[in-house]
Amino acid sequence: MAKVLGPPPVRLCKALGCRKPVHENDRCLLHRQIEREEYAAREAERAATVALAEGDKTIRHCTVRSCDRPSHARGLCLAHYERFRRHQSLTTPIRGWGQPTTSP
Ligand SMILES: [Zn+2]
Ligand SMILES: [Zn+2]
């Protein structure tokens, strides 16, 4: 530990327009807190992206756009696969999902 002779020079926060003294890592207490929160948010986002990328390897999803259900067969989810079998439109939104439809 080096002894500091005299008062240490006051460093100011590196954040734009901030003149508060440095608390940690060239940031004042407030901006350090913001930096931490931004870092945590970035980390959470990164973790979610990684989880999503890893999930894609194991769980395949329905190939229909805007559908995020897991793939059941032929790259389609159960609802879309049923539609495919019945030659129904795959692009119209799924309604009454979970309710069995009786075909004539
Ligand atoms: Zn600041
Ligand atoms: Zn689907």
Task: For the chain of 104 residues, list the mean pLDDT of each consecutive stretch of 10.
Answer: 72 93 94 93 83 65 87 89 88 62 54
Report the separation in Å between the CA atom of 32 and the middle of ligand 1, taken as the mean of its atom positions: 7
In sequence order, what are the residues at sequence separation of 6 or more whose Cβ sits closer than 8 angstroms to the Cβ of residue 14? 22, 26, 27, 31
Report the separation in Å between the CA atom of 82 and the middle of ligand 2, taken as the mean of its atom positions: 10
For 2, the token pair is 């080096």
For the full predicted model, state whether its pTM sits above 0.85. no
Residue 37 half-sphere exposure toward CB, CA atoms < 13 A: 6
Report the separation in Å between the CA atom of 51 and the middle of ligand 2, taken as the mean of its atom positions: 21
Report the separation in Å between the CA atom of 45 and the middle of ligand 2, taken as the mean of its atom positions: 25
Give the bridge partners for 73, in sequence order. Answer: 76
State the pLDDT at residue 4: 65
State the pLDDT at residue 14: 93
State the pLDDT at residue 39: 92
